[in-house]
Structure 1
Amino acid sequence: MSVLILGLLIFLGVHSLRIFADGWRSRQIARLGEKPWKGLFALVSLTGFVLICWGFGLARQHPVLLYVPPLPLRHLNALFTLVAFVLFVAARVPRNRIKAKLHHPQLLAVKVWAFGHLLATGMLHDVVLFGAFLAWAIVLFAVSRRRDRLAGTVYPAGSLKGDVLAVVIGVVAWLAFALWLHLWLIGVNPMT
C-alpha cells in the first residue's frame, strides 16, 4: 500500500500546485521556461503514475475488504464511466457546449469516474485510489471555478458539431475501454 500512497502523493501533489503553490509554479515557469517546465512536470507525473499502477497491483495481492457493494452498483458504474469518458473528451474537443457550460469537464470526469468506482468496489486499495482522486478533483474543481470567476474567464461558446464530436468520441473510447482495454490493462472485466 505504501507504493500506491507514494505514487498518489507524487502524482496528485504535482497536479495540485495550482491549488497550494500557484505563485511558486508561476515563478518556476518564468525561471525555467514553459517547455522545460512541462517536461519536468510530465516526468514527475509519469513517475507518480507508474508508482500508482505498480502500487495498486501490489495492494491487490493483499486485499482488505471494507464493504461489499450491491451488484447493481457495479453496473451503474458503467454508466458513470461512460459519462466520465464523454466529459474527458469534452475537455479536448474545441467549441463544445459541455466545456462552455461546465468549464472544467476533465475534473468533473475524474469526479464521476472515482465516485462510480467507489460505489462499485469495496477493497481498501480501491478506496485509497478512488477516494484520493475524488477528493483531489473536488478541491481542484472548486479552486479552478473560483480562479475563473476572479479572472473573468469566458469560455468560447459551443456548437452542435463540437457537442456531437465530444459525445461520439467519448462513447467510442468508452466502448473500447469497457469491452477490451479494461480487462487487458487492469485485469477486471467491467461488464460482468
Structure 2
Amino acid sequence: MLLLVLGVLLWSGVHLSVAMAPAQRTRLVARIGLRPYKGLFALTIVASLVLIVIGWRSTPPTSAWLPPAGMRHLTILLMPLAVILFTSSRAPTDIKQFIRHPQLTGVKLWAVAHLLTNGEVRSLVLFGGLLAWAVVEVIFINRRDGARVKPPRVGGLRTTISALIGLLVTGVLVFAHPWFAGMPVLALR
C-alpha cells in the first residue's frame, strides 16, 4: 500500500507544482534549462506510474464495501467517454467548446467510473486520490489562467477523428488492462 500511496502523492505533487508554483517552475527552468526540466518532469511522472502499478499489484484487495450490481456495466460505458476526453485535450476538437479541461475531466470520469465498481481500499487510494488531484488541479489552473477563452471551432471531422482515436486507445487499454492492473476488463470465454 505504501508504494501506491507514494505513487499517487508523487504524481499529484509534480503535476500540482506547475499550477500552484509557476514562479518556482520558471526559476528552475531558467537554472537548468527547458529540456532538462521536461526530462526531469517526465522521469518523475514515469516513476510515479511505476510506483502506482507496483503498489497496486502488490496491495491485497481488501474490501471496503460491496459495489452495487450493474455498476461494472456503467463503468464499461463511461470509460470510452473518459478516454475520448483525455485524448482530446491535445488534439484539435470542438469538445473544448464545452469542456475547459477535457483531459482532467476525463481523469475525473475515469476515477468515478472505477470507484463505482471497485470497493477495495486500494481503489479508494488510487481512484479517490487521483480524483481529488484532478479536482484540485482544475481549481489551481483556473486560478492561474483566469477567465476561460474558448478555442476556435475546428469542425466535426476533426472532432470525430479525435473521438475515434480515443476509442482506439480505449481498445488498447482494455487489452493491456490485465498486464498493468492484474485483472481483465472483459471475461471472454
Amino acid corresponding to residue 71 of structure 1 in structure 2: A
User: Is 2:44 aligned against 1:48?
Assistant: no
Aligned to 1:72: 70
Q: Given that residues 98 and 158 in structure 1 are in contact (C-alpha distance below 8 angstroms), is that contact kept between their aligned partners in structure 2? A: no
Q: Given that residues 107 and 141 in structure 1 are in contact (C-alpha distance below 8 angstroms), is that contact kept between their aligned partners in structure 2? A: yes
Give the secondary structure class of the aligned counterpart of 2:72: helix
Aligned to 1:129: 126
CA distance in 1, matches of 2:21, 2:142: 17
TM-fit CA distance, 1:190:
1.8
| Larger CA deviation: 157-166 vs 181-190 | 181-190
CA distance in 1, matches of 2:179, 2:82: 20
Q: Given that residues 61 and 120 in structure 2 are in contact (C-alpha distance below 8 angstroms), is that contact kept between their aligned partners in structure 1? A: yes
Which string of whole-angstrom CA distances, capped at 9 and with x for unpartnered residues, describes residues 55-111 of structure 1?
11111xx222100101211110111211111101211222x1112331221101100
For the structure 1 residues 104 and 185, does the alpha-carbon distance in structure 2 shift closer, same or farther, using more than 3 Å as the test? same
CA distance in 2, matches of 1:177, 1:40: 26
CA distance in 1, matches of 2:97, 2:30: 29
CA distance in 2, matches of 1:108, 1:126: 19
TM-fit CA distance, 1:175:
2.6
Unaligned runs of 5+ in 2: none
Q: Which runs of 4+ in 1 moved over 4 A?
A: none
Normalised TM-score (structure 1): 0.89
CA distance in 2, matches of 1:11, 1:3: 12
Amino acid corresponding to residue 62 of structure 2 in structure 1: V
CA RMSD of aligned residues (A): 1.7
Identical amino acids, percent of aligned pairs: 37
Amino acid corresponding to residue 151 of structure 2 in structure 1: Y
Which string of whole-angstrom CA distances, capped at 9 and with x for unpartnered residues, describes residues 103-129 of structure 1?
221101100000100111000001100
Normalised TM-score (structure 2): 0.91
TM-fit CA distance, 1:47:
1.3
Unaligned runs of 5+ in 1: none
For the structure 1 residues 181 and 120, does the alpha-carbon distance in structure 2 shift closer, same or farther, using more than 3 Å as the test? same
